[in-house]
Structure 1
Amino acid sequence: MQVNETSFSARLATLQNPSIMKTLTGIKHGVERETLRINPNGGLAQTPHQESLGAALTHEFITTDFSESLLEFITPPETSIDKTIGQLKDVHKFVMTNIGEERLWPMSMPCFIENQEAIPIANYGTSNVGKMKSLYRVGLKNRYGSMMQAISGVHFNFSLPDEFWEKWLADDSTIKADKDSISSAYFGLIRNYRRFCWVIPYLYGASPALCRSFIKGKETGLPFKTLGKGTYYLPYATSLRMSDLGYTNSAQSGLNICYNKVDSYIASLRAAINQPSENYEMFAGKKDGKYQQLNSNVLQIENELYSPIRPKQPTRSLEKPTDALDERGV
């Protein structure tokens, strides 16, 4: 690919314009941090989500992800990095004082887990929304296995202020800063990120080791070395979490989700949630009187799409993510 150096240099020069630089302090960001609850002996906690932490379905800052044992801490959009870190610290402290002798597993690769049946699927109660969220996770277990879903991660959410887009896009007199032009600019950012995002785990990845229980029964040709009684590691490995053993989904490689613009992204994602899958047809119907997934399509819902970066628009009640994007842009 040939890079237009003149255009790139011009964009960097534009960013150095004082009137644009000062708008960058208005960037809003938030963190979604996942972590496993563990017993004092280092095994996965089997207890349900503690009532003292609030309802996982409705709590603003503390919820669960795939499992009852997989907590997720959420900070609201803020412009101050110190405030975001302080909020995350406060949530951690509150949780630690309300889970008794249990602890929070500090690494992204899971602790010792005997088998995937020892991973309790998250329970969100008996409301229709709660039952849908739990059934969706049953589908994830059947499709991809619970071990992969027990991997913890950190999601970083951010958005640029309207003032930035008004000044940035004004550099081209033919473009007006509106929903469509801002979404288009975000998708340019997304394409660049997807092009170079492998550099981040390559240089800064921090999951070179895992518990041998994670690959129990799996075939792997990787030359693992052992450490202590149950730790496998690879010399010079930086991110097993992002490797083929980690949080990946080869089954989605043929989806061809299009990141050219918001309309093509929405269309390709909607096609995936409406496309029947022969592979997942085996989980159609009930087993022991219980449904095994929301549906047998390639994606049960839009959030099932695995991607290193995703365009978002906060959803309203009962609104699908693609409908929110279509209505209000990125």
Structure 2
Amino acid sequence: MIKHDLNKTLAALTAQFPNAINGIKRGIEREALRIKPSGHISKLGHPKGVGSALTNEHITTDFSESLLEFITPVSTSAEQTLAQLKDLQKFTLSHMNDELLWPISMPCFIEHQDDIVLAQFGDSNIGRMKTLYREGLKNRYGSMMQAIAGVHFNISFPETLWQSLYQLNESKVSLSDFISQGYLGLIRNFKRELWLISYLFGASPALCNSFLQGRETDLPFKKLGKGTLYLEVGTALRLGNLGYTNSAQSSLRVMYNSLEEYVAGLKEAIHLSSDLYGHLDDYKSAEPKQLNKNILQIENEFYSPIRPKRNAASGETPTDALLRGGIEYIEVRALDVNPFSETGIDLQQIRFLDVFLTYCLLSESPEMDWQEQKLSTANLDAVVNDGRDPELMLTKEGRATSLTEWAHAIFDKLHPVAQYMDKAYGVSYYSETIKEMGTWVEDPSKTFSGRYVAALANENQDNGHFALALAQQYKQSHLDADYQFYDQTFLAEQAADSVLKEREVKAADSVSFTVFLDDYFSKA
């Protein structure tokens, strides 16, 4: 845990370890719905030619057959990561005939949730488990929520930075434990100020009324066009009560003050029977509707805007991987798809996240009790619904504070972090990014949600038509562009190899599906 305040830590790093921050590693997972030219969700299977969704490491699916997921490898170059992401989308689009990639987070043109076809991963035991898990999600929460797309940003800090901080803090624990403590401190600080990410990058202030499927809501929606509902000063419906939330998990007290505490909270949830889901048949039944009857079927069902992660070995659960080796990287799950970028995320966002997450790491991070966690959620909800209201008040350390005042205070701290990073990398773009985005605090029209609502209102156009036009534009742009990092041959070979790997996975199965899951859950 960082013992010194941010300024002292930055001063010590600048004096003794000026280049320690060099070598930040990143990876991006971008989700995108496949849609027909009409804008309706595709009911076709995974595109032929892009390989197996089970074993292709870079092109797979999430909840449904139509919800593609593009996964970049780990890289220390943000430019390279975006080039890889663009190539993966170009390659996939070339195998999608006339279908398009939906360029926003909230889905549209879905007449019924049965139009959302569950992702299929083949008939191996692990493939069947993945599909049955999704069947459980459908029966627990409905498929519409699972059709929402997002962008996950993975980041790990270089060993040189951890060694430097370890020395500066004169830590008495092992380096591995120190790193885990540091990442958990980052997570707590991120949760305290997550609302700022929603303010800046929230890009789901509108939705098609078909998404509600008749559900009642007390949100102050305004209507536009034939069927668009939008929040005039809202930011990210995806992160709010209509989006990727799980009220059934509200009783789960997963805390982030120690790795043991975090793991214990998740393990309790995957072993605790649920009154809500007990009526659904589990994997031991002839026609299962979910993996099991617990509050969480598996750990991945826990919805959180940020997660501590470690690459797991075959058959290893995420929490067991954490206990084995400590936290390896952080997964930020709070990003909407950026509709103003053909890749779903842009370079400016990555540079801001580099600085913001470094600031979260280097700042002191007191333990966070359950009451403070609930307060951070309340602040996020306020920004989701009213973030561009210049009069909006949030609660900071027990007192009412305007969003504008708090945001300026954060940016004042981000500037010296950006300066340290600029010097280490021999660039100026970190400071330039923070300077530019600081102006968004006073001018909400510059935020993604501000630009989004303006694009709809100025043209009086429906949300779906706005997104469909972007989808057509971006597909053409991808197909016209040259490959930047990969090439057609490499990606085709990778796809073909993944089909062979899936067959090998199936051939390696030596027990029945029921016995396979018995073994999996006994280890969990």
Please report the TM-score for the alignment, with normalisation by the length of structure 1. Answer: 0.95
Letter in 1 for 2:7: S
Give the equivalent residue in structure 1 for 2:280: 283
Alignment of 1:59-78 (within 5 A): 59-78=56-75
User: Residue by residue, what CA displacement relative to the aligned partner does 1:204-263 show, whole Å, maximum 9, x if unpaired?
Assistant: 311111111101210111222222222111111111111111111121111100211111
- The 8 Å contact of residues 255 and 272 in structure 1, kept in 2 or not, is answered as yes
User: Residue by residue, what CA displacement relative to the aligned partner does 1:16-38 show, whole Å, maximum 9, x if unpaired?
Assistant: 3462x423221100000000000
Give the one of 84, 89, 98 matched to 1:92: 89
Letter in 2 for 1:158: I
Give the one of 147, 152, 167 matched to 1:170: 167
3-state SS in 2 of match to 1:258 = coil
User: Residue by residue, what CA displacement relative to the aligned partner does 1:28-74 show, whole Å, maximum 9, x if unpaired?
Assistant: 00000000000000000010001211100000100000000000000
3-state SS in 1 of match to 2:165 = helix
- The 8 Å contact of residues 170 and 177 in structure 1, kept in 2 or not, is answered as no
Matched, 1:274 2:264: no
Select between 40-49 and 22-31 the one with higher mean Cα deviation.
22-31
Select between 123-132 and 208-217 the one with higher mean Cα deviation.
208-217
Give the equivalent residue in structure 2 for 1:79: 76
- Could you tell me how far 1:289 is from its partner in structure 2? 4.8
Give the equivalent residue in structure 2 for 1:124: 121
Letter in 2 for 1:206: A
Letter in 1 for 2:94: T
Q: Alpha carbon RMSD of aligned pairs, Å? A: 1.9
Give the one of 218, 231, 234 matched to 1:234: 231
Matched, 1:253 2:250: yes
1:152 and 1:222 map into 2 onto residues whose CA distance is 21
Give the equivalent residue in structure 2 for 1:33: 30
3-state SS in 1 of match to 2:80 = helix
- Could you tell me how far 1:285 is from its partner in structure 2? 4.5
Alignment of 1:78-227 (within 5 A): 78-175=75-172, 178-227=175-224
User: Residue by residue, what CA displacement relative to the aligned partner does 1:134-192 show, whole Å, maximum 9, x if unpaired?
Assistant: 00000001111100000000000011111110011100224365211111111111111
2:138 and 2:316 map into 1 onto residues whose CA distance is 25
Structure 2 gaps of 5+ residues are 328-524
User: Residue by residue, what CA displacement relative to the aligned partner does 1:277-322 show, whole Å, maximum 9, x if unpaired?
Assistant: 1111011358995200000001000111111110000011111101
- The 8 Å contact of residues 282 and 291 in structure 2, kept in 1 or not, is answered as no
Q: Give the structure, 1 or 2, with the largest relative contact order (CA under 8 Å, sep 6 or more).
A: 2
2:284 and 2:214 map into 1 onto residues whose CA distance is 24
1:288 and 1:257 map into 2 onto residues whose CA distance is 30
Please report the TM-score for the alignment, with normalisation by the length of structure 2. Answer: 0.60
Select between 311-320 and 167-176 the one with higher mean Cα deviation.
167-176
Select between 229-238 and 88-97 the one with higher mean Cα deviation.
229-238
Give the equivalent residue in structure 1 for 2:290: 293
2:227 and 2:63 map into 1 onto residues whose CA distance is 25
Q: 1:288 to 1:157 in 2, by over 3 A?
A: same
- The 8 Å contact of residues 48 and 95 in structure 2, kept in 1 or not, is answered as no
3-state SS in 2 of match to 1:37 = strand
2:154 and 2:10 map into 1 onto residues whose CA distance is 23
Identity %: 53
Q: 1:5 to 1:181 in 2, by over 3 A?
A: closer
Structure 1 gaps of 5+ residues are none
Give the equivalent residue in structure 1 for 2:371: none
Alignment of 1:304-319 (within 5 A): 304-319=301-316
1:201 and 1:157 map into 2 onto residues whose CA distance is 17
- The 8 Å contact of residues 33 and 74 in structure 1, kept in 2 or not, is answered as yes
1:132 and 1:207 map into 2 onto residues whose CA distance is 32
Q: 1:229 to 1:324 in 2, by over 3 A?
A: same
Give the equivalent residue in structure 1 for 2:402: none
- The 8 Å contact of residues 226 and 232 in structure 1, kept in 2 or not, is answered as yes
- Could you tell me how far 1:15 is from its partner in structure 2? 4.0
3-state SS in 1 of match to 2:74 = coil
3-state SS in 2 of match to 1:148 = helix
Q: 1:288 to 1:183 in 2, by over 3 A?
A: closer
Letter in 1 for 2:110: I
Q: 1:18 to 1:51 in 2, by over 3 A?
A: farther
Q: 1:236 to 1:5 in 2, by over 3 A?
A: farther
Letter in 1 for 2:186: L
Letter in 1 for 2:160: E
Report how many aligned residue pairs link the two structures: 326
Letter in 1 for 2:6: F
Letter in 2 for 1:9: N
Say which one has the larger Rg: 2
- Could you tell me how far 1:8 is from its partner in structure 2? 3.3
